[in-house]
Amino acid sequence: MRLGGPVKPITYLKNRTAELVREVAEEERPVLVTQHGEAKVVVMSATTYERWQRALVLLKLAAQGEADLAAGRSASTREALARAAAAVRERGSGE
């Protein structure tokens, strides 16, 4: 596994946890932690994690959109706008 960032053994994490957390938070670069020479976990800042989560959501939406197109589940812009307008009118009349 290659992340392109720093790699630290688990003993570094055990002995220098506060230092590692500070480095990761300040530099906003994930650190790969190894155990017995194998990749085990990645430590990343909360900001980086949030960015990754947002990117993952966007990728999932794109994949769903592609699947919908492949399955023929699509509508023209005109049709989509007409459906949206009808839904808005329906909500407005229900109050």
Q: What is the CATH number of the domain that holds 37?
A: 3.40.1620.10
DSSP annotation of 45 reads -
2-38 per-position pLDDT tens digit: 667 899 999 999 999 999 999 999 999 999 999 999 9
**Residue 72 located in a structural domain:** yes
Residues spanned by the domain of 14: 7-93
- 40 with 10: CB under 8 angstroms? yes
**Residue 2 located in a structural domain:** no
- Total number of domains constituting the chain: 1
**Residue 1 located in a structural domain:** no
36-77 per-position pLDDT tens digit: 999 999 999 999 999 999 999 999 999 999 999 999 999 999
**Residue 47 located in a structural domain:** yes
CB atoms within 10 A of CB 84: 10
Cα of first residue to Cα of last residue in the chain, in angstroms, is 56
In the numeric block, the tokens 């990343």 are attached to 44
Distance CA(21)–CA(14), nearest Å, equals 11
